Structures are given as structure tokens and as C-alpha cells.
Amino acid sequence: MLKRFIFVLFILWGSYVFSQDLGNLKHQKPFNVSGSAMLSLNYYESSNAIQTYQPFSYLVAVNVTPAIYGFSVPLSFTYTKMNKSFNHPFYRFGLSPTYKWVTLHLGHRSTNFSRFTVSGQKSFGVGIELTPGKFRFAFLYGKFKKDNAYKTIYDDELEQDEYTLKGYAVKIGVGSQKNYFDLVFMHIADNTDDFSDTSLQIHPESNVVVSAITQLSIAKNLKFNAEIAASVFTQNMFATEYDMDDLPKLVRNMSDYLNINTSTSLALATDVGLEYKLKKFSAGVQYQRIDPGYKSLGTNYIRNDFEQYALKSSYKFKIGHINGSVGLMRDNLKNTKLSQANRLTYTLGVALTPPGVFSVTANYSNFSTKQTEGRVPLNDTIRLFQVNKNISVMPQLRFVNSKSSNIIMANYTYANLVDKNSFAEYAVPVVSNTAFLQYMYSVAETGLGISANINYTDFKTALSRITNIGPTVGANKTMLKKKGTAQLSLTYLRSNNNSVKGNIYSARVGYNYKISKSQQIKFSYFFTKSKYPEDATVVGYNNSRGVLAYVYKF
């Protein structure tokens, strides 16, 4: 009886472990327990009429992770003044034992066959991977996760059912990690017995996907990669049957297997890339096209109905590197939408890191989106044509040695969103400017660190403009034989909110103390106050928050 109990416990504690090499099992500890417990007391006070937090609250949190021979399962428990929760993964356990070139997948797994077939989807079942030499084989069978049928903002008003997806995926290929060719076949469908209530207008779905994936080193520095997939998707397995006489003989012979009817559609997905890479220079081109309606029940989400061309390049030189990209994308591939969106993007980045104390990075990006006519003529007054530009520069000076460090850094970021539609009522662009200049000093021997910076933000739209500028000073110090650490920061901002001038003050103080290697006490208090004239349209506020916590690690 004891041996049976230990065996069951061993299987359950395989939860959430991606892979376990059985060859290294003897090096694992037979039993181990780790985790932490925390008790925190929280205080909150605000002058706002609507209180978002309780004035006083508490939190008890416990995290425990038992492990047997490297197989572990995390458990967590939280208790607050408002509610409590207990999370455990026993209903989602899984193992992936590995021995040489054989890997088994048992229970709950997150698998990845290819981008357009099975990718990141959670499943419950069995699987195997074989990689003897250049041969590659993988098989997976089980139940796949599917979202609830109905989701509303009122969770208790509608009973929700989860319908079960069942299926399998097979991958056969040859090659190595650098050069390979794989074929993937996937078939996943709903269990029609779960759809007896047709009044909910929820229908069982079926999906078959075939995909070819390859990566080849054409030359020493030239690499080619591609995935081409075809998806046969049936939205309603109860729909009217299709007239098979209009289909090719091969499709007619597979009609029952593919669940073909009047709700069935065929869509293709293509992702092809070519990259040339040297020691200091690289350049690549990527082409993607995913038909409207392309879907795989083995993935969580795939964006469809778009075609995209992209060029990218980078160059490394003695004191830095430079990289850039250009992309062109469009949707409405089959002219089924009322309008078509075209997007042009290009980016440029430069980093200079010469010998010495100085370095600087700069980035520029431009995104433009323009609508054109689709199935119907597009009214110029509502045509979307926007350009978004972003520029950022960050220089830095570093004076660092074994005893102390002095760092001076600055940052400036500019963002501009322009509406190019001449019929727009408010043609004023949305502009954002942010900048800061910061100095940081620290001494290793004393554990003292100080910082000072000045901040500036300016956000302007057609209807408003908000500007804040002011300094921040801070300090931190280790003490009591490095068992305690104290922090303090003060901020003042001069605010101009739509021509209403005011002041914003904030302060933060904190202290952490290590009682022992496993015990720690943390305290923090934050206060902020904004003040505007009494007759102003902008209302000031006071907020304060405090936390006292005890943490025990084992």
C-alpha cells in the first residue's frame, strides 16, 4: 500500500515539469521542500470621493513547492480581508521523461510542432518524440483546451459549458537543428455529443492542417527558412452537406474524414525568409501571407488576412552597431472588407560604445497607415491616414572602479501622431516630449548610494496640454552589518494642466531588515499630494499608502 501511495505521489509531483532526463535521476535529491510565507499589513488613505482601496487590510500568502527526485509541484494559498484562494496544479499534471533520443509526454503538456499547426496550445494526453540521428518523429494525441462557449461581463447570469476538442498531430522529418525538412499533419475536432443543445447557436468545429517546414543553409553564410500550411476548417459539423460532385475525386474520398460541408473553408499560410549573415554584417528578407479565415485549433491565436514584406539589416563596427528595417503590409486579400489598410514601417537604430566612459544609443521609427477602397468606395472624410513617429536618444557617462561609481545619463523621447486626413476636424497632431537628466553615485565600502535627476514631460493634443517639470532626489544606505537597507526619495513637479498651474509633491521611504537568512521584515510608505488653486477646474488630491510585511523563506 505504501509503495502504491509513493508511486501516485511521484506521478502527481511531475506537474508543470517540462522535461526530466532519466539518465540524471540518480543525481537528484530524494525529497526537498522549498517556499515562502508572507504576512503584510496595508494602510491606504485618499482624499478622492471614491475609495479604490480599503483603509486597512492584510494579506497572508504561502507558497510551497515539494519535490521528489526533481519532480516538483507548486502550491499557493492567499488570504485577505476580502477573500481567500487556494491554487494547486494537481488537476494539471504532466511528465516528459527523456532517455537518450526518446522523450515521452504524459498528461498536461504545452506542445510546439510548428507556428501554423500546433504551437503553445495546452493539451492533455500522450505523446512521443524520437530523434535517432537525422531522423525526426513526433506524435501527440489528446484533448486540447478550448475557451468557454459564452463569455459575458456578468459571469453568474449565464451557465457556461466547456466543449472538448480531441485530436492528434504527427511530425515526420529529417535533418539537424541547422538543416531540416519536416511534414506536420494535425486533425482536431469537437466531440459532437457535447452539442445536443442547438438553441445556443454554438456549433462543433473540425480542423485539419497540413504543413511543410524547412530550414536550409544554401551557402556558408546564406540561410533559407519557410513554412507553408493549408487549413481545412469546418465551422459547423452539423451544417448542410456539400454537393460532392463538384469536388475533385481525391477530396471526395476524404470528405468524411475532413468533415466537409457548406461551412467548410480552405485557407493557406506562408512564411518564407532568406538571411545572409557575416561576422559584422547581416541582411534578410521575409515574406508572410496568411489568407482570410486561416485558423488552427492547435494554436491560441493566428492573425490572418494580411500580406507583408520586410527587409532588415545590421552592421557591427569597432565602436558600435547600426540596424534598420523596412516593412510593407496590407490586408483585405480577397476584397471582402469595406476598406483596405496599407501600412509602411521603417526603423533605424544606432549604438556607439567607444573605449572609455562615454556611450550613446539612438532609435527612430516611423509607422504610417493609410486606408484605400475595398468592396465599396471610401468616403474621404472618414478615410484613415495616420503617421506615427518616434525618436529617442540616450547618452551616458560611466566612471566606475572597485571603490565607487559615478554615472551620468540623459534621455529624450519624442513621439508624434499626425492625422493626414485633411477633412479631420482637429488636424493638430498628438505630440509627446519626455526627458530626464540623472546623476547616480555609490560607494561599495559604505553601501551608500545617492541620486539626483530632473524630469520633464509634455503631452499635447488638440484639446489639452499637460506639462510637468521638477527634480527628484534619492538615497539608499546599507547598515547594521549589511542586514538593513534604507531608502528615501523626494519628488517635486511644477504642473501646468491646461493652463492651470499647480504643484505635485511625493515622497517614499522604505526599510528592509534581514533577521536571518530565512526571515526578513519590509516597510514602505508612499505619499503624494497635488495642489491647484481652489477655484480651478483641476481638483487636487492627497494619497498615502503604507505596507509592513514579514517574509519567511524555507
* Distance separating alpha carbons of residues 458 and 431, to the nearest angstrom: 8
User: What's the DSSP call for residue 423?
Assistant: T
- pLDDT score at 300: 86
Helix (H) or strand (E) holding 103: strand 102-112
Whole-number Å distance between alpha carbons of 412 and 364: 12
Find cell 484533448 and name the residue: 143
Cβ atoms of 486 and 477 closer than 8 Å: yes
Per-residue pLDDT, 12: 38
Residue 17: the pLDDT is 41
Phi-psi region of 431 (alpha: psi -120 to 50; beta: other; left: phi over 0): beta
User: How far apart are the C-alpha atoms of 162 and 142, rounded to whole Å?
Assistant: 16
How many alpha carbons fall within 13 Å on the CB side of residue 390? 10
**Which pLDDT does position 48 carry in this prediction?**
75
Could you say which DSSP state residue 61 is in? E
Q: Partners of 514 in the beta sheet?
A: 520
Cβ contact 63:74 at 8 Å: yes
Cα dihedral sign, 115-120-122-126: positive
Q: How far apart are CA 280 and CA 552, in angstroms?
A: 50
CA 253, 259, 262, 267 torsion: positive or negative?
negative
Q: Which of 148, 111, 131 is nearest to 296 (CA)?
A: 111
C-alpha cell at 188: 482536431
CA angle at residue 101 from 99 to 107, to 5 degrees? 60
Residue with cell string 514601417: 345
For residue 552, give the nearest of 32, 39, 33, 31 by alpha carbon.
Answer: 39
* Helices and strands: H and E segment counts in the chain: 3, 30
Which pLDDT value is given to residue 50? Answer: 66
For 340-366, what is each residue's pLDDT tens digit? 999 999 999 999 999 999 999 999 999
Q: In sequence order, what DSSP letters do the residues of 166-232 get, joined into one string?
A: EEEEEEEEEE-SSSEEEEEEEEEEE-GGG---GGG-----EEEEEEEEEEEE-SSSEEEEEEEEEEE
The SS3 assignment for 388 reads strand
Grid cell digits, residue 107: 498528461
The series of mean pLDDT values per 10 residues for the chain, 554 residues long, is 38 42 64 89 84 81 79 75 56 74 86 92 90 94 71 45 80 93 95 70 89 94 96 90 72 74 92 96 98 93 95 96 97 91 96 95 95 80 84 97 95 92 68 97 94 96 92 96 94 94 96 95 96 87 94 93
192 Cβ neighbours under 8 A, 6+ residues apart: 204, 237, 238
Q: What is the pLDDT of residue 2?
A: 37
- What pLDDT was estimated at residue 468? 97
Coil, helix or strand for 392?
A: strand
pTM exceeds 0.85 for this model: no
Residues 6+ apart with CB under 8 A from 546: 42, 43, 44, 523, 524, 525, 526
pLDDT score of 450:
97
CB atoms within 10 A of CB 436: 16
**Which residue from 238, 292, 246, 290 is spatially nearest to 263, judged by alpha carbons?**
238
